[in-house]
Amino acid sequence: MNELFNFNDTWIVVEQNWWLVLLSLALGVWVGWVTCSRENNPAQG
Amino acid sequence: MSHYLLELVLWMLLAFFIGCIFGYLARLMFSEAKAEVLEPAAVAPAAVAPATAPMAPKASAEIAAPAGKMERPKGISSARGGKADKLQRISGVGPKNEKVLHNLGFFHFDQIAAWTPEEIEWVDDHLKFNGRIKREEWTRQCKLLAAGKEDEFGKLFGTGGMKHKAGQTQSGTRTKK
């Protein structure tokens, strides 16, 4: 259990999988963008 | 290995949430900037400042309708006599759209009734209604309402907010088939 919460040198994970993190970031940006446009769409009512 | 995966998933989730916030804020800033560009046209008080009015629709039309035969209808800065018509009576207009119409300078049924097909196109495109204004016959509804033909309006378009229940106005629900 202790090992599960041992996050020392966790930055290595990002360095080794930077493309996956970047992909998640891009996906997040897209989701945020789409969500905002739906909320601001006056055609909803 | 599972620990490694857990860390990776956490980093990905973190990146996703940060991305969501950035995307949301970016869209918000983008739409605000666009609104600021449209703002002078959107509230162009044709009746109050006739000298600037001809410029405003042109600037707006360039942004909203670069190629089509759309034409921005002229709005007014405030309701005549300080009292606006209840635009929610139009079937298809709720509180949100009523506010949008007010922001565009439309407060009275006769204003909407006077829209030309080009002007309808502009409003429809501006509000991204995908043809709703024509489909729901806003101008026809407004002609009836402006002329005070309540019975005919009721027959064709339902109560459209005429009836009140416990002090609450019912927004237009079209009954015509």
**Residue B174: inside a domain, yes or no?**
no
The answer to whether residues B32 and B53 belong to one domain is no
In this structure, is residue B110 part of a structural domain?
Answer: yes
Q: Are B106 and B112 in contact (CB under 8 A)?
A: yes
The total number of structural domains that make up chain B: 2
User: What's the rounded Cα separation, in Å, for the pair B153 and B142?
Assistant: 9
CA distances (Å), B120 to each of A2, A20, B1, B6, B103, in order? 66, 47, 61, 55, 16
Domain that holds residue B137: 43-169
B24 shares a domain with B94: no
Whether the predicted pLDDT of B20 surpasses 50:
yes
Identify from A4, A14, A17, A21 which residue to disrupt to test chain B contact, counting B C-beta atoms within 10 A and taking the largest count: A21
Chain B stretch 51-90, residues whose beta carbon is closer than 8 A to a beta carbon of chain A: none
- Same domain as B158, residue B77: yes
Are both B61 and B85 inside the same structural domain? yes
Contact B173, B92 (CB under 8 A): no
Confidence (pLDDT) at A29: 94
- Say whether B100 and A10 touch across the interface (CB within 8 A): no
* Cβ-Cβ contacts under 8 Å, B8 against chain A: 13, 17, 20
Map B107-157 to HEC letters: CCHHHHHCCCHHHHHHHHHHCCCCCHHHHCCHHHHHHHHHCCCHHHHHHHH
Model ipTM over 0.85: no
B7 and B48 in a single domain? The answer is no
Q: Is A18 on the interface with B (CB under 8 A)?
A: no
The reply to whether the predicted model has a pTM over 0.80 is no
Q: Nearest CA of chain A to the CA of B45: how many Å?
A: 22
Cβ atoms of residues B141 and B110 within 8 Å: no
**Residue A9, min C-alpha distance to chain B (Å):** 10
| Same domain flag for B57 and B37 | no
* Structure confidence by residue, pLDDT tens digits, A1-45: 556 566 667 788 888 899 999 999 999 999 998 888 665 555 444
Tell which of B9, B10, B11, B129 to mutate to test the A interface (max A CBs under 10 Å).
Answer: B11
